[in-house]
């Protein structure tokens, strides 16, 4: 699967006087991908982020945004085309929320009507009531201000978002909420996001790929599962021992669903010969494809009918958002070896088994 | 009490003269303040960009500020003669310090984070100044202008020594002619006018802060 490269760094250095704070960093980010940069403080992650929109100019190497070298672009135009969210939010206190959201549109002198419509649309996108538009930033809580910060970054509909510890200054509950909202939002907006954090769980949760930095160098880059399986001592130390479960808590069971298990609608006939695929049980669904239970192959007679009351009814199916960690816990404590999973509409999607979860651990390394 | 009755009678009889003189006084201060703003604000912005320049300029305008007013007026007579122009220059020199310093300090106290956010959104240099730095430092700059204006209103009474009229004339004439009614009328008028001016500008200051939503 090849996707267009949105941002690319080639051997980028940043030198202050004698200190090399970013040292030969190279990576590329595909369109629509979320890349998280993480590392101890002073590792150069924020500097790396700020070089992408040239708030900090790089000393050596090349930075390409949509294939163009940033040093050949007008820095003002470049920044207007990239959304920027920082930890301290930096809303302008003398402007209303609406004027803050529209700041970039106002800089580029877009029509007033368009600005108003866009602000209204965005305030709803980030989950704040529309009457907040007329308020001043001071009247909002930290979490609400950061929502406005996100709305502001999205105003000009940039393809790329740079986020520098955006949720670092809010309380843990708000942080989790903002993370969830960002992920939900990302499903529809599909921006290319570079996200800097020092919170490993946040990185696992948000990042498609995670880059770990140390003393200006990018020491590891990969998906959360790849990092968990890394042999590098620094990486293992940095992400910590409990990391595997943190990662499994961020991956939904939809990644390991088995859909090959045979199903039958209640009251219908079943063709034992061709459809068993080596399974010994058949799942039974109702007329709307919601999960009802299962039936053993022995309880299906030659005509393909379920004999009598043979259907084993079990508890409702689990939602698709269930994390693999939760699924494993559910199976361990509930004494089960598999769980049925259904979508929001209660339509059966598949089952998750111990084996399929374990398969992820070995398989992920290479994918 | 006798003197207050004299002053009141003087005020009633010479109303036109008093208000005309107060008007001159006021215009002198207004012009001085305008010139101070026109010179002081850009200078304050300029020196906020470099530490070196900042020290030199703040030091220089600080020296003007500490010269006694009579010495300065005397010096100005030797190079410019008497009249309104040297009086205006003296007031401008005194007014520069609060305006230049407050502009510089105001700009420097704009939070780095706010400026960085604005930079990240793609402001150019002029937009940074006019859309971020000046609005956010406006209350501080305005406070400097307020200081300069009110101070100049008091100092302008000295303009009489350089032949530039104003309320100083009423006071000096009252002293010289032993006209206590005139003297007191002049004093009360200038005090009331100064306090009123300070209140008025203070009210404007408050409005400005509200507009820029920096106070509840």
Question: Which domains, and CATH codes, for chain A?
Answer: 5-251 (3.40.50.300), 254-366 (3.10.580.10)
Residue among A57, A78, A87, A94 with most chain B CBs within 10 A, to mutate: A94
Domain limits of chain B? 2-211
Residues 6+ apart with CB under 8 A from A283: A261, A262, A263, A264, A291, A293, A294, A340, A348, A351
Sheet holding A209-214, edge to edge: A82-86, A160-164, A192-197, A34-38, A209-214, A217-222
Percentage of the residues of chain A whose pLDDT score is greater than 90:
34
Least confident of A119-123, A215-219, A319-323, B113-117: A319-323
Q: What is the pLDDT of residues A257-295, one digit of tens each?
A: 888 888 888 777 777 666 677 777 888 888 888 888 888
pLDDT band at A366 (very low <50, low <70, confident <90, very high): very low
A275 vs A265: CA distance, rounded Å: 14
Residues of chain A positioned with their CB less than 8 A from the CB of B135:
92, 94
Closest residue to A80, CB basis, from B116, B122, B132: B122
Pairwise CB contact (< 8 Å): B120 & A79:
yes
Inform me whether the pLDDT recorded for A241 exceeds 80: no
pLDDT at A72 (0 to 100): 93
Residue B42, chain A, CB below 8 Å: the answer is: no
Cα angle vertex A160, ends A154, A165, to 5°?
Answer: 80
Q: What is the pLDDT of residues A27-55, one digit of tens each?
A: 999 999 999 999 888 899 999 999 999 99
b/e string for A206-229 if b means 16 or more Cβ within 10 A?
bbebbbbbbebebbbbbbbbbbbb
Class of domain B2-211: mainly alpha
A186 vs A183: CA distance, rounded Å: 5
A52 vs A12: CA distance, rounded Å: 10
Pairwise CB contact (< 8 Å): A104 & B121:
yes
pLDDT at B132 (0 to 100): 92
Residue A109, chain B, CB below 8 Å: the answer is: no
Residue A80, chain B, CB below 8 Å: the answer is: yes
Inform me whether the pLDDT recorded for B76 exceeds 70: yes
A93 vs B135: CA distance, rounded Å: 10
Cα angle vertex A252, ends A246, A257, to 5°?
Answer: 130
pLDDT at A76 (0 to 100): 93
DSSP A304: S
């Amino acid at each position: 699967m090849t996707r267009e490269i949105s941002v690319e760094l080639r051997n980028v250095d940043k030198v202050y006087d004698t200190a090399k704070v970013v040292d030969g960093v190279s990576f590329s980010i595909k369109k629509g991908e979320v890349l998280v940069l993480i590392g101890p403080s002073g590792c150069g992650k924020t500097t790396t982020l700020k070089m992408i929109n040239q708030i900090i100019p790089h000393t050596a190497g090349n930075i390409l945004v949509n294939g163009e070298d940033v040093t050949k672009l007008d820095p003002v135009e470049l920044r207007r085309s990239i959304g920027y969210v920082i930890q301290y939010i930096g809303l302008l206190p003398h402007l209303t929320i609406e004027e803050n959201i529209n700041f970039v549109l106002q800089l580029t002198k877009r029509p007033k009507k368009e600005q108003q419509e866009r602000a209204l649309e965005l305030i709803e996108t980030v989950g704040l009531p529309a009457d907040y538009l007329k308020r001043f930033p001071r009247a909002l809580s930290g979490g609400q201000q950061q929502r406005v910060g996100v709305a502001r970054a999205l105003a000009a509909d940039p393809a790329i978002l740079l986020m520098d510890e955006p949720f670092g200054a809010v309380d843990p509950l708000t942080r989790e909420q903002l993370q969830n909202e960002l992920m939900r939002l990302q499903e529809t907006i599909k921006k290319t996001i570079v996200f800097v954090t020092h919170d490993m769980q946040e990185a696992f949760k948000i990042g498609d790929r995670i880059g770990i930095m140390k003393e200006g160098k990018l020491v590891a880059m990969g998906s959360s599962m790849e990092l968990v399986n890394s042999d590098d001592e620094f990486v293992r130390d940095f992400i910590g021992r409990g990391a595997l479960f943190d990662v499994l808590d961020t991956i939904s069971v939809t990644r390991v669903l088995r859909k090959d298990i045979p199903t039958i609608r209640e009251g219908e006939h079943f063709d034992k010969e061709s459809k068993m695929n080596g399974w010994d049980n058949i799942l039974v669904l109702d007329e709307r494809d919601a999960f009802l239970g299962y039936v053993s192959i022995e309880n299906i007679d030659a005509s393909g009918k379920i004999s009598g009351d043979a259907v084993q009814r079990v508890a409702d199916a689990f939602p698709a958002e269930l994390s693999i960690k939760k699924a494993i816990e559910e199976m361990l404590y509930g004494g089960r070896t598999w769980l049925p999973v259904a979508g929001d509409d209660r339509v059966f999607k598949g089952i998750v088994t111990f084996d399929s979860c374990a398969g992820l651990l070995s398989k992920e390394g290479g994918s | 009490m006798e003197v207050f009755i004299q002053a009141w009678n003087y005020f009633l009889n010479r109303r036109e003269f008093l208000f005309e003189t107060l008007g001159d006084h006021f215009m002198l201060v207004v012009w001085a303040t305008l010139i101070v703003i026109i010179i002081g604000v850009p200078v304050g912005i300029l020196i906020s960009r470099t530490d070196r320049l900042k020290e030199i300029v703040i030091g220089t305008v600080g020296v003007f500020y500490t010269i006694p007013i009579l010495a300065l007026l005397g010096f100005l007579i030797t190079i410019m003669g008497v009249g309104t122009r040297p009086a205006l220059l003296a007031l401008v020199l005194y007014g520069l310090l609060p305006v230049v310093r407050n502009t510089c300090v105001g700009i420097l106290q704009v939070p780095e984070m706010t400026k960085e956010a604005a930079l990240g959104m793609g402001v150019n240099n002029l937009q940074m100044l006019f859309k971020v730095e000046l609005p956010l430092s406006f209350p501080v700059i305005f406070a400097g202008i307020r200081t300069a204006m009110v101070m100049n209103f008091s100092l302008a009474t000295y303009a009489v020594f350089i032949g530039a009229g104003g309320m100083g004339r009423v006071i000096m004439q009252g002293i010289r002619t032993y006209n206590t009614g005139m003297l007191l009328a002049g004093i009360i008028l200038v005090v009331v006018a100064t306090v009123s001016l300070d209140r008025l500008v203070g009210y404007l200051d408050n409005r400005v802060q509200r507009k820029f939503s920096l106070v509840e």
